[in-house]
Structure 1
Amino acid sequence: MILALLAAGCGRRADVGPVDVSVIGPTPRLMSGARVPPLTGNRILTDAVAEGLVRFDAVGQIEAGIAERWIVIDDGRSYIFRLRNAQWSDGSAVRAADIVPLLRRKLAQGGTNSVAPYLTAVESIVEMTPEVIEIELARPRPDLLKLFAQPDMGLVRPDRNAGEGAGPFRRRDTKERGSLLLVPALDPDRDPDDDGPTPEQNVRLRGERAALAILRFVERRSDLVSGGTIADWPILQTANPAPANVRIDPAAGLFGLAVVSRQGFLAEAANRAAIAQAFDRADLTTAISPDWAARETVLPEQLDSAAPPMVPAWATLPPEQRPAAARTRVAAWRAVHGVPVVRIALPGGPGGTMLWARLARDLYAIGVRPIRTALDDAAADLRLVDAVAPYDNARWYLAEACVTCAAEAQAAIEAARLADTLPQRATATALADRLLTEDVAFIPLARPFRWSLVALRLRQWQPNARAWHPLNRLRADPN
């Protein structure tokens, strides 16, 4: 019924009043502890009201957060941050004594903080003065700031004032159920004669199902739909919004099938390679969008590895010859064991069905019988990994792709983590990439697919590799 209503065009929305933002998913909640899952809406809200030491700007680059400036010394093993004149939501001053225990707690969250596993090099966090913090590392990490800019590292005081942070926004009560009103936090150093923020700098944030969010946008009742993935892309296509409003991020990360079971047909690397070469990646991506790039390697580029991305052996065959080679391998298996069955865990939604249709077609064509299962099915053989990289680091790609990879590949990834120097880490990373690729532990398909609907009034919204769009960098350049 909702889709039947999606007939309105989406022209220009008047540049008046708060910026109205819909995030696909449940109503956002502040990520102040382990009980709040890191959904897109939760991360957006946390970034808005509880920034970290640093944060991402509109194009995914580092800018000041609670720290106004910083220096890196000792060959990248020590970061010193000077805090700006900031206030918590209750008006009290932000001090290093507040920040240090919050940062330590963040690092102790482990699996509930998606970036904590990549911050194990942090050795100590100490208060040097009330305005200065030093973070010492056991190993050099030149990409530390990109990890500290993640919303997961937003600094929330759970014991005061409903657990808010230091801005750049403050929450306000609203009569509309399921939505939050965010107003800019006042700068303590502002000119007393300044009139302060205008209503257009406020943000109304809500979480809702994709169909409702898209309907609200095409009816010109919102300015932004954020958090779009392949799962809901067909709904957007049915709505047929103005092309100028549809924006796709060049997201960096992983989109492919992780091998989560090595039983039966998938016990042998050659069989896993047959599955990998069966898929027509170009057909898959162009059927979704011409802006979606296919991928055959785990690493998108060399990054901090000592070698270019390892190309799988199966990818050296021309695309038109790959199905025949895969059929030959499957036929040999079938002659002894019967028809191989592979359970593939995929997301729900019409986009998941579209993805399944193409993957299943290609597997049937080589003699494999696929079965679709839920994304959380513990009995799956292959599971879709769809994740945006928090930073441009090869170890992130390899560690996320290594769900059940061979012990040798796991050891090389761990060696990269523990390397004392950057050249040692680059060498270990290149080895890990080679071993994981030869093991066929992950089947790359494309880059992550992330879309938004953006009103023309949001002139500062920019597509970027992090697929991240902070709420204080939407409408107008603050400079």
Structure 2
Amino acid sequence: MTRLLFLGALLLTLTACDRGADERPVAVDAIEQNGTGNTERVLLRSALAQGLVRFDAAGQVEPAIAARWNMVDDGRSYIFRLGDATWSDGRPVTADQVVAALRRTVRVEAGHRLSPFLRSIDEIVAMTPQVIEVRLKRPNTELLTLLAQPELAVMRGAQGSGPMRRLAGEGVRLRAPVDPDAPAPVPADEVRLNGMRAALAVARFREKRSDLVLGGAFADWPIVAAAGLRPADIRVDPARGLFGFAMVGRYGFLAAPLNRAAVAMAIQTANLTAAIDANWAGADTVLPEAFDSGSDPASPPWRNLTEAQRWQTARAQVAAWGQPVTVRVALPDGPGATLLWGRTAAALARIGVRGQRVGMDAPADLALVDRVAPYDSARWYLATACRGCAPDAMMLIAAARDATTLPERAQRLAAADAALAADVAFVAVARPWRWSLVVPRLRGFQTNPRGVHPLNHLRGDTR
């Protein structure tokens, strides 16, 4: 009986500890990328300001300022009906305010990462005080996903409309607006956001000083692998996007497509991702799937060669050059990038090429591209991979952008994909590696292909 009483008391203590843990504010550490703090800024902007639509925990589009919408005219027009959104000062959001803000944001001169992909927008007009129409020059079935991005969040001066509000006090403290008809907020409804280096963020999580680490990428993954964390606390997103090398230096040895192919064959055959994690699958095409292209992803010409044939062909191509070959490879900082460089340099040396590692801002011949796709279109992949590619490939990508019908767009995208592969303009290695550290009480957290994790969707309860 004494033993049973002891076990019962122990269980009550553990339960109380678990419940107490869920009563604390949620501490979120955002990893700074190369010291820029951009992850923290994006999370904060997404919490304080929203667009017509926004992302949920699964990376799907959900209502935000707009309560509902319709796509009409085969994707040439979107009609949005506003809900009851308010600015941070409590005043209602009006259609005219939203239109003015969006017009500023979608201008080419805005200069953010999505500017080149918003050129299909023709007009944004307020039809009534509560209805907005976005008119397009060409069909765009992915417009909602673009409008959910942080860059398209609607601001009025320094004010946003949520989904969270900033609380007074030290540091960045956030909470959803208090609904008078809902239960009173509890400490766990509050999110405290910090930005820091990956090593410190991982150490804080291990010491149970934070509940969530966001913004992890391949360059810092070895820190996680060495930290001895519980596997259940480590989440890796099935991110869609590009991870590979753009051929940005096209002179000397790399001026000829066959020579670029020799370097590309070596890199793709070297299984670079295994240097980071055995579970990181490789890729050999720019497009992960067809998306809106009219054909399957274009494969590299050497796909059907055996591994031995690839190495032999690449070595012979370098030897035929008859001169020493040096290739400068631009990589970010971080232990994961160093591991990747070690395997890349070994692969280049194996075919007779001397590799030289340089920083991301330095002149280079190959530059790492590591980006999650903001929306699912072949055009984003092709335009992002085409950094200094051949003029015919660039023209085909531009032609796809200007296509007036979806079938015409699909045909042009397929042609651009094939041209990019023939030009050997990009060496696909994998899809982006994105990771987070998550405590069990954040039941609302979900991995997703967008790699987005809104701070208002962490607890997964009905508060």
Q: TM-score, normalized by length of structure 1?
A: 0.90
Q: Given the superposition, is the C-alpha separation of residues 421 and 445 from structure 1 closer, same or farther in structure 2, using an over 3 Å criterion? A: same
Over residues 284-303 of structure 1, what are the superposed CA-to-partner deviations in whole Å (9 max), with x where a residue is unaligned?
Answer: 22332233120100111111
1:476 corresponds to 2:460? yes
> Computing the radius of gyration over CA atoms, which structure comes out larger, 1 or 2?
2
1:288 corresponds to 2:272? no
Q: How many angstroms apart in 2 are the aligned matches of 1:140 and 1:198?
A: 46
Match in the other structure for 1:202 = 190
Over residues 125-167 of structure 1, what are the superposed CA-to-partner deviations in whole Å (9 max), with x where a residue is unaligned?
Answer: 0111111111100101011000001111111222xxxx13000
Q: How many angstroms apart in 2 are the aligned matches of 1:111 and 1:126?
A: 19
1:271 corresponds to 2:259? yes
The farther-off stretch of 111-120 and 220-229 is: 111-120
Q: Given the superposition, is the C-alpha separation of residues 27 and 446 from structure 1 closer, same or farther in structure 2, using an over 3 Å criterion? A: closer
Match in the other structure for 1:34 = none
Question: What is the SS of the residue equivalent to 2:260?
Answer: helix
Of the three residues 354, 357, 365, the one matched with 2:339 is: 354
Match in the other structure for 1:244 = 232
1:108 corresponds to 2:101? no
8 Å Cα contact 2:269-2:307 kept in structure 1: no
Match in the other structure for 1:441 = 425
Task: Map residues 358-369 of structure 1 onto 2, 5 A cutoff.
Answer: 358-369=343-354
Q: Per-residue deviation at 1:282?
A: 6.6
Task: Map residues 199-348 of structure 1 onto 2, 5 A cutoff.
Answer: 199-280=187-268, 283-333=271-321, 335=322, 338-348=323-333
Task: Map residues 131-150 of structure 1 onto 2, 5 A cutoff.
Answer: 131-150=130-149
8 Å Cα contact 2:275-2:340 kept in structure 1: no
Q: Given the superposition, is the C-alpha separation of residues 109 and 25 from structure 1 closer, same or farther in structure 2, using an over 3 Å criterion? A: farther
Q: How many angstroms apart in 2 are the aligned matches of 1:302 and 1:23?
A: 33
8 Å Cα contact 2:173-2:192 kept in structure 1: yes
Query: Identity across aligned pairs (percent)?
Result: 52
Q: How many residues align?
A: 446
Q: Per-residue deviation at 1:185?
A: 1.8
1:91 corresponds to 2:106? no
Q: Given the superposition, is the C-alpha separation of residues 72 and 343 from structure 1 closer, same or farther in structure 2, using an over 3 Å criterion? A: same
Q: How many angstroms apart in 2 are the aligned matches of 1:420 and 1:311?
A: 27
Match in the other structure for 1:6 = none
8 Å Cα contact 2:55-2:62 kept in structure 1: yes
8 Å Cα contact 2:243-2:429 kept in structure 1: yes
Runs of 4+ aligned structure 1 residues displaced above 4 Å come to none
2:462 maps to a residue whose letter is P
Q: How many angstroms apart in 2 are the aligned matches of 1:340 and 1:360?
A: 13
Q: How many angstroms apart in 2 are the aligned matches of 1:302 and 1:424?
A: 15
8 Å Cα contact 1:110-1:117 kept in structure 2: no
8 Å Cα contact 1:53-1:149 kept in structure 2: yes
8 Å Cα contact 2:57-2:453 kept in structure 1: yes
Question: What is the SS of the residue equivalent to 1:459?
Answer: coil
1:164 corresponds to 2:159? yes
Q: Given the superposition, is the C-alpha separation of residues 309 and 355 from structure 1 closer, same or farther in structure 2, using an over 3 Å criterion? A: same
Q: How many angstroms apart in 1 are the aligned matches of 2:37 and 2:31?
A: 13
Task: Map residues 403-442 of structure 1 onto 2, 5 A cutoff.
Answer: 403-442=387-426
Task: Map residues 397-408 of structure 1 onto 2, 5 A cutoff.
Answer: 397-408=381-392
Of the three residues 15, 19, 23, the one matched with 2:26 is: 19
Over residues 365-385 of structure 1, what are the superposed CA-to-partner deviations in whole Å (9 max), with x where a residue is unaligned?
Answer: 1000010000111x2111000
1:67 maps to a residue whose letter is A
8 Å Cα contact 1:54-1:148 kept in structure 2: yes
Question: What is the SS of the residue equivalent to 1:293?
Answer: coil
Q: How many angstroms apart in 1 are the aligned matches of 2:263 and 2:33?
A: 36
Q: How many angstroms apart in 1 are the aligned matches of 2:37 and 2:426?
A: 24
8 Å Cα contact 1:271-1:330 kept in structure 2: yes
Q: Per-residue deviation at 1:173?
A: 2.8
8 Å Cα contact 2:275-2:339 kept in structure 1: no
Q: How many angstroms apart in 1 are the aligned matches of 2:34 and 2:443?
A: 26
Q: Given the superposition, is the C-alpha separation of residues 239 and 463 from structure 1 closer, same or farther in structure 2, using an over 3 Å criterion? A: same
Q: Per-residue deviation at 1:27?
A: 12
8 Å Cα contact 1:27-1:208 kept in structure 2: no
Match in the other structure for 1:7 = none
Of the three residues 161, 175, 181, the one matched with 1:183 is: 175
Match in the other structure for 1:127 = 126
Over residues 296-340 of structure 1, what are the superposed CA-to-partner deviations in whole Å (9 max), with x where a residue is unaligned?
Answer: 00111111100000011022212332111100110111x2xx111
Q: Per-residue deviation at 1:38?
A: 9.0
Q: Per-residue deviation at 1:174?
A: 2.8
Q: TM-score, normalized by length of structure 2?
A: 0.93
Task: Map residues 59-74 of structure 1 onto 2, 5 A cutoff.
Answer: 59-74=58-73
